[in-house]
Amino acid sequence: MRNRVVITGLGGICGLGTNASAIWDGLRSGRSAIGEVTTHDLHNLKVKVGCEVKEMPDHGIPHRQTVSMDRFSLLAVIAAREAMRQSGLVEGDADSYRMGAVVGVGICGWEAIEENYRALLLEGKNRAGIFTVPKVMPGAPAGQVSMDLGLRGPTFGVTSACSSANHAIASAVDQIRLGRADVMLAGGTDAPLSWGVLKAWEALRVLAPDTCRPFSADRQGLVLGEGAGMAVLESFDHATARGAEILGEIAGVGFSADASDIVAPTVEGPENAMRACLADAGLNPEDVDYLNAHGTGTKANDMIETKAVKRVFGSYVKDLSVSSTKSMHAHCLGASGALEMIACVNAIREGIVPPTANYREPDPECDLDITPNTPRERQVKVALSNAFAFGGTNAVLAFKGV
């Protein structure tokens, strides 16, 4: 029998708030934190909306540590510290060699890249900053979380564009299921609100000029945001042996690849990932109460996800509550799935489905029950979280109460 994997701590930071509780308060009230970006230099950009962390919290991380961090690593460590505090784990509660970290990242440390380009190309400096390489590497957040919390077990980064967090969480689940670890910190982080990243996304012509309106007929694209979400995952036996409060269980994971196009998704890829997740969890479609959709707000993505969901859930789709919380925290790339994990776990715990904010017009091509604008009270025993990415890499997680 495989190890059950439970969640004993959650941490997060994004435009909605600087901790997981504040983020959930924003989500369940339907508050969108999307607006004009003011803390980053976005000169010469056509689109200047995003979802930013307006003011960093007093995190207490020493300067000798932060000097080697790019922003995405700092966000990850802040979220990981919060998750660890909530879990109640203290030194001696677990063998540090059986505690690890997996952190998903959609892009690298772009803040440091731009700082160095500016210094070398505009200011005429002769060399890059000494910490440039450890700052920018995609695996940096996992390493920084490991060092900050003293985790000496399986530790690595995962990068698969917009599904990075779900892949990271699933990879951490595997470490526990396989008996390689008792405790894993898992989630995702990204800080894409820099000039170069936004300029590149602008070229794709998928950025909305005002806000994110998933599944609404007048949607105009996605909005980028920054943030991080982390969870303490434990084997059920380890958590119960130390008397931990269990917030929820990761019942199953599912993967697939479109093997089709680098940016255009298929219906079959997302469909197969959802089916694989349900099979891994031992669930039927009718067992799922809430689906946190990938829901980016682009014309094609929302329409294709709708078709995939209808294929998987069939006649039961009419009983399925769906929402896209990206309408409130925006698309935080490698962090999105981790922030959506916070939504799923709390939806189960409190019996509240967070809404799809900014919704204005029904779209016959997106005719799911997308919980428009207002949260809904309903019993949620099982929640699914979808993540579909450029490259056709799909990852779906199933959560349930304990």
The catalytic site residues sit at 162, 294, 331
Please report the sign of the dihedral spanned by the C-alpha atoms of residue 177, residue 181, residue 187, residue 189: negative
Q: CB under 8 Å, gap of 24 or more: what pairs does 256-260 form?
A: 256/394, 257/391, 257/392, 257/393, 257/394, 258/392, 258/394, 259/392, 260/392
Please report the sign of the dihedral spanned by the C-alpha atoms of residue 174, residue 176, residue 179, residue 184: positive
What's the token pair of residue 116? 């160095």
CA distance 62 to 293: 38
Maximum Cα interatomic distance, the chain, rounded to a whole number of Å: 65
CA distance 254 to 237: 23
Within a 13 Å sphere around the CA of 157, how many CA atoms are in the beta-carbon half? 24
Instruction: Please name the residue that has the structure tokens 């006649």.
Output: 315
CB 371 within 8 A of CB 356: yes
Burial 272-299 (b: 16+ CB within 10 A, else e): bbbbbbbebbebebebbbbbbbbbbbbb
Instruction: Please name the residue that has the structure tokens 């000798």.
Output: 64
Contacts of 22 (CB under 8 A, 6+ apart): 16
Residue type, 77: V
CB 248 within 8 A of CB 7: yes
What's the token pair of residue 214? 């998933």
Q: Which helix (H) or strand (E) holds 117?
A: helix 110-117
The C-alpha angle with vertex 13 and arms to 9 and 18, in degrees rounded to 5, equals 100
Closest C-alpha to 147, from 101, 215, 86, 93: 101
